[in-house]
Amino acid sequence: MAKATILQLVTKQSILIFIQTFILIFGLNFSMKVLFLSFYAIVCTNLLTFLESVTKLLLYKGWKRFPVQ
């Protein structure tokens, strides 16, 4: 149960950061927007990959500790 709430908190935080950066992007000029968006895409992809691997690791450890009868 605790793992689920941590994941929900991380997701909410990610959404908030996404909204804040989106607002920030609209304040920048065009060339800065392009640079920022490309950088942001790389960061988001890495973050999602990291979150996915952490989730898989937690699920695997939980499965090994409590095998289904």
The predicted-structure confidence for 7-51, as pLDDT tens digits, reads as follows 666 677 777 777 777 777 676 667 777 777 778 777 778 888 888
Residue 10: what pLDDT? Answer: 67
CA–CA separation, 21 vs 26, rounded Å?
9
Question: 54 and 7 in contact (C-beta within 8 Å)?
Answer: no
Residue 62: what pLDDT? Answer: 76
Residue 50: what pLDDT? Answer: 84
Residue 4: what pLDDT? Answer: 62
pLDDT at 52 over 60: yes
CA 50 to chain centre: 8
